[in-house]
């Protein structure tokens, strides 16, 4: 919160399990805060230590429309684009759901022409089209 990212990075490298510690009332971790404030280097430097379940940093970056972090993460590991959270949503789906066109097209570019339509569907069957129309994201 005070912008002391180098000190935080050192502390987490000495204590990697602390990455999952909730530090806000809404149960955000330090990774969530770093994404909110656009600390791309901090987020990407810790990707190897982050669990690949639930909402990954890529889910949050896509939801917020942070193209810089989406690009950095996808460049390091494009497979994260297909990771699903507890609602069965991929980061690709969340970018569309929240009307974040730039993040959506950024992630689309990293799919390498894969025609995997399952990435466009939630576990409950809703598609990106359903979701964007319901959210009035007509662009």
pLDDT digits (tens, 9 = 90+) for 93-112: 999 999 999 999 999 998 87
pTM of the predicted model as reported, rounded to 2 decimal places:
0.80
Q: Is residue 139 part of a domain?
A: no
Higher pLDDT, 84 or 2: 84
Q: Total domain count for the chain?
A: 1
Residue 96 domain-assigned? yes
**Is residue 120 a part of any domain in this protein?**
yes
Q: Specify if 71 maps to a domain.
A: yes
Within a domain: residue 105? yes
> Which CATH number do you get for residue 39?
1.25.40.20
User: What pLDDT, in 10s, does the model give residues 18-42?
Assistant: 778 888 888 888 888 888 898 888 8
Show contacts of 100-104: CB within 8 Å, 24+ apart: 100/62, 100/63, 100/64, 100/65, 101/139, 102/65, 102/67, 103/61, 103/62, 103/64, 103/65, 103/66, 103/67, 103/70, 104/62
The residues pairing with 127 across neighbouring beta strands, listed in sequence order, are 121
Q: How far apart are the C-alpha atoms of 33 and 136, rounded to whole Å? A: 28
- In a domain, residue 47? The reply is yes
Q: Is residue 58, in this structure, part of any structural domain at all?
A: yes
- 23 domain-assigned: yes
Position 91 scores a pLDDT of 94
Where in the sequence is the domain holding 70, given as residue range(s)? Answer: 5-134
């Amino acid at each position: 919160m005070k912008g002391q990212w180098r000190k935080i990075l050192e502390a987490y490298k000495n204590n990697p399990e602390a990455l999952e510690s909730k530090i806000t009332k809404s149960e955000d971790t330090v990774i969530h805060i770093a994404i909110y404030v656009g600390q791309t280097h901090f987020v990407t430097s810790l990707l190897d230590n982050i669990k690949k379940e639930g909402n990954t940093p890529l889910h949050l970056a896509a939801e917020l429309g942070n193209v810089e972090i989406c690009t950095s993460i996808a460049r390091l590991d494009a497979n994260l684009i297909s990771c699903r959270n507890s609602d069965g949503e991929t980061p690709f789906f969340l970018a569309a759901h929240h009307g974040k066109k730039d993040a959506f097209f950024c992630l689309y570019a990293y799919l390498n022409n894969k025609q995997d339509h399952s990435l466009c569907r939630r576990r409950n069957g809703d598609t990106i089209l359903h979701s964007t129309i319901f959210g009035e994201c007509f662009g």
